[in-house]
Structure 1
């Protein structure tokens, strides 16, 4: 018989090491893509307040990338963390997209990149060794930091061979030199990540949207990571927002796009089951990834202080084991988690 009490859930404070490295992350991570004006502008005061709220809630892991707002996310995050003790937090950023002057700017990056910023810069894919070194040097300058804790190869779907033979080995060299603490890959596709785990030597993989209440496609990846002592960061636990509310709506986002009707139906079924146990859907969505020991952190994007505070409270509260038993039942898996 399962316990009627909520299962223990990690607080945002205690940190977990990544793979065989010495780098540690908090169970709740701050995804800084919204600081780059993802989909809509975000004012400086709110961006800073969101980072401050995360710190106050015990969050010590912050993730960004040059891609996010054409460098704006890195600059804002660095400024917000500037006065914090450097050894007290962990920052990850990414390589694979170099920023360079845009020869024909249109005025906005929204159409091309999804960020409400001027497109005076553009992204050029570069997964070469030289590209990795240049990217990290530029990121350090934008962040205003003395080192990068975690360096991730960013979305190399169309550049797998170069990423495996140049980008990841270059990061491994920097790791050996102590320039970066841990290395890995960040993607939203499972099979390429499995290839990196099998053929490379990462400390961590970041899988976005594929290990969630709604999509458990990353199960084989998690098993392989556990066998090889590679940690997992489960990003996008809300699947771009669909699971961030108790009442999933047709006008919401799913995996950076519109919500298919079948997916919306599954999300609503999840919400109904959670509601029957008095559990908000976002709470279950945040707690779900951390049930697997190989998952070191669940990484969600935050725009406002209220979003951060709510997420931290959800993790601290936990979810009853009897709800997990229902959501894991074979008959439920067939309907709610079908690919």
Structure 2
């Protein structure tokens, strides 16, 4: 591959922000082996964040709940070394419920934000999400004096420039988008080479002027390493049908000389409905490698083949 070129940027809905097509994700930096299947030493995680901050991608995503705050703490340490985020850098984090009690009240949203600001060493954030609202009912999320109202208040106070919602179930995220309360929606594991369940959400968000961030284009690793290297999809054992389809995707990519992860990344970034694609990295060298994969030359004739190899709809997430 040639030298890494500057990344194109896209408008993030109606936020006024322009973000690069790639966003690096901080979940894997938190070393959560129960989810990702491996540990990440803290020093290596720190070196990885340093590489992101030195590189051309000015977009980094994390959450209060990743590793009990470990991801934010590591990112905050790297930011402190350089005196804070570089000019124009977009750092996104997410407020989380109390994992021990399940509390997702307005007070918990405020506590979560305050913890994030402390760990990151910041006094305000460019983008703040309500994270995993599937853990409470939609009615509780939208209730007067509830978490969404508190998130809106946080934006009004200037502690977050923009707010979004990030979660799993597509139908629930569509309901949140329809409220008009959010500027950005983040979906994960639901718009990939193998799973197309987020299609209606992407359409609804575009219609509403809500920016879309698509996370986990590798489905937790299987669409980077193949079914033999990672027989799991979306952090659970993959169904035999999914394993078979991914094997066929690998074979199709091989016939065209295209690395599987390059196709997985481009599937997301080529979609005009998606502003940016979140990719987790756990080694500093992966920063440049990811950008090289993103720029890989992929023949147009491969896409119809790959579209036909997505799993049947009854094997998608929800």
Q: What's the TM-score once normalised by structure 2's chain length?
A: 0.88
Q: C-alpha deviations, 1:86-135, integer Å up to 9, x for none?
A: 4331111111323xxxxxxxxxxxxxxxxxxxxxxx54433322221121
SS of 1:317's equivalent in the other structure is coil
Partner residue, 1:211: 191
Q: Does 1:67 align with 2:45?
A: no
Q: CA deviation at 1:11?
A: 5.9
In the TM superposition, 1:130-279 aligns within 5 A as 130-159=107-136, 160-165=138-143, 166-245=146-225, 247-249=226-228, 252-279=231-258
Q: CA deviation at 1:218?
A: 0.5
Kept in 1: contact 2:134–2:168 (CA 8 A): no
| Alpha-carbon distance in structure 1 between the residues aligned to 2:199 and 2:25 | 22
| Alpha-carbon distance in structure 1 between the residues aligned to 2:133 and 2:25 | 19
Partner residue, 1:327: 306
Partner residue, 2:28: 34
Kept in 1: contact 2:193–2:264 (CA 8 A): yes
Partner residue, 1:115: none
| Alpha-carbon distance in structure 1 between the residues aligned to 2:151 and 2:11 | 18
Q: C-alpha deviations, 1:245-280, integer Å up to 9, x for none?
A: 2x4217533111222211111111111111111111
SS of 1:70's equivalent in the other structure is helix
Partner residue, 1:89: 89
Give aligned pairs, total.
304
Partner residue, 1:53: 51
| Alpha-carbon distance in structure 2 between the residues aligned to 1:297 and 1:338 | 25
Kept in 2: contact 1:185–1:206 (CA 8 A): yes
Most deviating of 214-223 and 158-167: 158-167
| Alpha-carbon distance in structure 2 between the residues aligned to 1:85 and 1:74 | 13
Kept in 1: contact 2:166–2:187 (CA 8 A): yes
| Alpha-carbon distance in structure 2 between the residues aligned to 1:200 and 1:54 | 33
| Alpha-carbon distance in structure 2 between the residues aligned to 1:24 and 1:123 | 37
Q: What's the TM-score once normalised by structure 1's chain length?
A: 0.83
In the superposition, relative to structure 1, how do residues 151 and 12 fare at CA in structure 2: closer, same or farther (>3 Å)?
farther
SS of 2:295's equivalent in the other structure is helix
Q: CA deviation at 1:298?
A: 0.6
Q: CA deviation at 1:85?
A: 4.2
Q: CA deviation at 1:328?
A: 2.9
In the superposition, relative to structure 1, how do residues 56 and 258 fare at CA in structure 2: closer, same or farther (>3 Å)?
same
| Alpha-carbon distance in structure 1 between the residues aligned to 2:6 and 2:21 | 5
Q: CA deviation at 1:139?
A: 0.7
In the superposition, relative to structure 1, how do residues 11 and 194 fare at CA in structure 2: closer, same or farther (>3 Å)?
farther
Q: CA deviation at 1:334?
A: 6.9
Kept in 1: contact 2:142–2:149 (CA 8 A): yes
| Alpha-carbon distance in structure 1 between the residues aligned to 2:47 and 2:6 | 18
In the superposition, relative to structure 1, how do residues 175 and 23 fare at CA in structure 2: closer, same or farther (>3 Å)?
farther
SS of 2:57's equivalent in the other structure is coil
RMSD: 2.2
Q: CA deviation at 1:156?
A: 1.3
Q: CA deviation at 1:233?
A: 0.7
Q: CA deviation at 1:231?
A: 1.0
